[in-house]
């Protein structure tokens, strides 16, 4: 159970880091101060760095079942990010759900892809060492 709480906590952090950083790109009126495409690209990079960093930290504590763990992390983090967006980002931005899915939601599919690939890579390395 402790493992799943840690995964969930890290999932919240993967959402929180880019959310907090995004405030540096908005003025007091709520307008983005840089090109929106650049902003979205920066958010993907920041999210990727945060997620990959947390994966490294988490996987250092895991001794086996890397692929299964990567799948679990990917699903949990994806659901957490989508839920937090639904609860916080969508009401703040007043974005239509269809726009959200096209502009942000689909990009979140990178979360399980990266988590599963990290788990698969570690599983493969572990199997070769055995």
Tens of pLDDT, residue by residue over 29-83, are: 999 999 999 999 999 999 999 999 999 999 999 999 999 999 999 999 999 999 9
Q: Which residues pair with 32 in a beta bridge?
A: 26
Map residue 32 onto helix, strand or coil: strand
On whether the CB atoms of residues 102 and 40 are closer than 8 A, the answer is: no
Q: What does pTM read for this prediction?
A: 0.92
pLDDT surpassing 90 at residue 130: no
Q: Which residues pair with 26 in a beta bridge?
A: 32
Residue 22: how many other CB atoms lie within 10 Å: 15
């Amino acid at each position: 159970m402790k493992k799943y709480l840690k995964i969930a906590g890290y999932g919240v952090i993967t959402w929180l880091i880019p959310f907090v950083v995004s405030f540096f790109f908005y003025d007091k009126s709520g307008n983005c101060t840089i090109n929106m495409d650049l902003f979205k690209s920066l958010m993907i990079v920041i999210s990727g760095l945060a997620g990959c960093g947390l994966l490294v930290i988490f996987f250092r504590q895991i001794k086996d079942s890397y692929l299964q763990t990567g799948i679990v992390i990917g699903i949990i983090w994806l659901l957490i990010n989508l839920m937090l967006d639904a609860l916080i980002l969508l009401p703040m931005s007043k974005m239509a759900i269809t726009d959200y899915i096209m502009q942000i939601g689909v990009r979140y599919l990178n979360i399980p892809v990266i988590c599963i690939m990290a788990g698969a890579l570690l599983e493969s390395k572990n199997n070769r060492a055995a």
